[in-house]
Structures are given as structure tokens and as C-alpha cells.
Amino acid sequence: MDIQTIGIVGAGQMGNGIAHVMALAGYDVMLTDISEEALKAAVALVEGNMARQVGRGKISEADMTAAMGRIATTTTLTDLGPSDLIIEAATERETVKQAIFEDLLPHIKPETILTSNTSSISITRLASRTDRPERFMGFHFMNPVPVMQLVELIRGIATNEETFSACKAVVDKLGKTAASAEDFPAFIVNRILMPMINEAVYTLYEGVGNVQSIDSSMKLGANHPMGPLELADFIGLDTCLAIMNVLHDGLADTKYRPCPLLTKYVEAGWLGRKTQRGFYDYR
Ligand code: CAA
């Protein structure tokens, strides 16, 4: 299947990054969100991030102008009708994602491929609520999308090879690398990354180290670009907790028990960078 037009649902941190890389790769993008303000903020962010890439000589002024011209926005899901591929990048809540797919179905072409950027929710379960489980799969970008090389491609139990190949071709055109994952809780990256972050929170909780010593240990001792607590703040502590709960519930093993300190921070509304407060204070 030849994919030219890409619909993106959700203009948040992930959605605007996906719009950025898709437009630069030459795809026509329709970005949708429920609020006009969110769409305006997303386009401004993409513009700022592309301008930085121009400033650093990564792309030309002409590339940026052409890419920005390929991004259209809408608050109406029906405008996603012509999309060949739709990537849902809304809030990480299953009921929200299910409702979006249900709302989309009457407006899209029978051959349109549906995907979710979910970081942990079952692709098979999401797909089963649509009319096309064979043309449904996980399309999971890493944050920040324009910088990170990996895209996890997750097959649901019914995903067909044509769908996988079409999505893999898109990842290739982006110049990124695809990792194929089976549909088990949190897939590959978060199955490994989140228990490490959770263990860092336990290390803090038990007083083995403080925030600075834990982060500098992993940065300088294991060559990670960010310490695990700084990374947790960057991802969002609510997202980290939600993924730990998916692992704990889905794999029924106490080794995935979320650290009580992580739960407490989320209950306090200290969600990391997005709320200006997490393990670090950004105010
Ligand atoms: N858009 C475009 N470019 C961006 C960007 C953005 N949002 N953020 C950073 N950049 C670019 C910068 O312009 C810079 O480009 P050049 O190399 O051309 O100069 C480059 O990225 C490096 O940025 P900085 O110099 O500002 O900062 P840094 O060297 O400290 O790197 C970082 C920042 C890339 C975020 C780095 O700290 C890093 O790799 N951190 C780890 C990120 C990570 O692990 N992400 C995965 C999270 S897990 C996930 O996403 C899965 C999930 O489901 C939760």
C-alpha cells in the first residue's frame, strides 16, 4: 500500500514530534486535537524545533518551508477521512484511545491502516474494538521524536504482513530504525526501561542515594545520556506509573510493583517537567 497522507490524533509532546518527522520526510500530515489552542501550540513547537535544526545546519530553510506547508490541522476527526495511515497519540488511557478509534471508523477508508503510539496498552485489545484488527498495529515513537532513532513496531495477534510492511516502509522513509515487538505488556523498550526507572525510585526511597547521586551514578557510571530520575521527569511520572501498573497487572509478578514513592509523587501532582515539579524542581 502506498502511504502518502498521515493522520495524527493528539497534538501533545508525541503528536507534534510525529508531525514534525513525517512532514520532513515528505508526507502530508493532518494533525488533530480537541482544542484549537493545543494545535496552535503544537505547530509553534514544530516550527521552533525545525528552526533550531536549520540553525544547526541539519536541514535547509527550503526543507523547513516545504515541511511546514505539509502540516494541516483540524479539530474535526472527519477531516482524517483521506488518511492512508492514522497514528493515535492521545492520552495514555485505554478508554480514551478506544473512543477515538470508534469515532474515526465511520469516516475512514476501508484500506486505511490504524495504529497507536501507545507505550504499553495491548494492541490486540485496542484492535479488537475496531472493524480491522488485521490492519491495526502499534507504532511507538520515542521522546524526543525528532532526535530518537528507534520506532517500535508492534504486531497485534491479527496484524497482517501487508500492514507491517507498509508501516516498516514509513519508518525506513523517516530514516529511523524499526524494532519489531510482539504484543506483551509494555513491549520491549518500556519492559526494560521502566523497571530500571522504578528501581532508581526505590534506591531513593530506601535512602541508598539522593537524587543527584543516583542520576550522576547512571550518567557517569553507565554512560546514560540522562539519569533515571531526570528521565522519569522528562517522560512524566504519571506515564511511568501507568506503565509499571500495566507490567504489574499484565505479568502478575511482584518484581514490577510500582515504588510507593512514585505513587506518592503522582498523587501529589508532581508529574515531572510538565508540572514544573518532579524529582527536580523546575520552577
Ligand atoms: N526536537 C528537535 N530536536 C531536539 C529536541 C526536540 N524536541 N530536543 C533536543 N533536540 C536536539 C537538539 O537540537 C540537539 O541537536 P544537535 O545534536 O543537532 O545539536 C540534540 O537534540 C541534543 O540536544 P541538546 O544539546 O539540547 O541536549 P542533550 O545533548 O542533553 O540531549 C536528549 C538531549 C537528546 C533529550 C538526551 O538527553 C537524551 O537522549 N536523553 C534520553 C532520552 C530518552 O531516553 N528518550 C526515551 C524515553 S522513553 C520513551 O520515549 C518511551 C516511552 O514510551 C515512555
pLDDT digits (tens, 9 = 90+) for 156-195: 999 999 999 999 999 999 999 999 999 999 999 999 999 9
Residue 267 class from Cβ within 10 Å (0-12 exposed, 13-18 middle, 19+ buried)? Answer: exposed
Mean pLDDT of all residues in 7-20: 97
* CB 18 within 8 Å of CB 145: yes
CB 219 within 8 A of CB 212: no
Q: What is the mean pLDDT of the chain?
A: 97
Asked if the ipTM is above 0.95, the reply is no
Q: How far is the CA of 192 from the centre of ligand 1 (A)?
A: 19
Closest ligand 1 atom to residue 56 Cα is 18
Residue 119 catalytic? yes
The 10s digit of each residue's pLDDT in 77-100 is: 999 999 999 999 998 889 999 999
Q: What is the pTM of this model?
A: 0.95
CA gap 245, 228 in Å, rounded: 18
Point out the catalytic residue in the list 88, 152, 198, 230.
Answer: 152
The residue contributing the CA closest to ligand 1 atom 43 is 143
d(CA 227, CA 218): 6
Split at pLDDT 50, 70, 90, the class of 2 is confident
Whether the CB-CB separation of 145 and 20 falls below 8 Å is answered with: yes
For residue 93, count other CB atoms closer than 10 A to its CB: 12
Q: Which residue has a Cα nearest atom 6 of ligand 1?
A: 144
Q: Which of 88, 147, 152, 197 to mutate to test the pocket of ligand 1 (most atoms within 8 A of CB)?
A: 147
Question: Residue 213 catalytic?
Answer: no
What domains does the chain contain, in order, with CATH numbers? 5-182 (3.40.50.720), 191-275 (1.10.1040.10)
Whether 152 is a known active-site residue: answer: yes
List, for residues 121-169, the tens digit of each pLDDT value: 999 999 999 999 999 999 999 999 999 999 999 999 999 999 999 999 9
Catalytic residue among 120, 190, 198, 230: 190
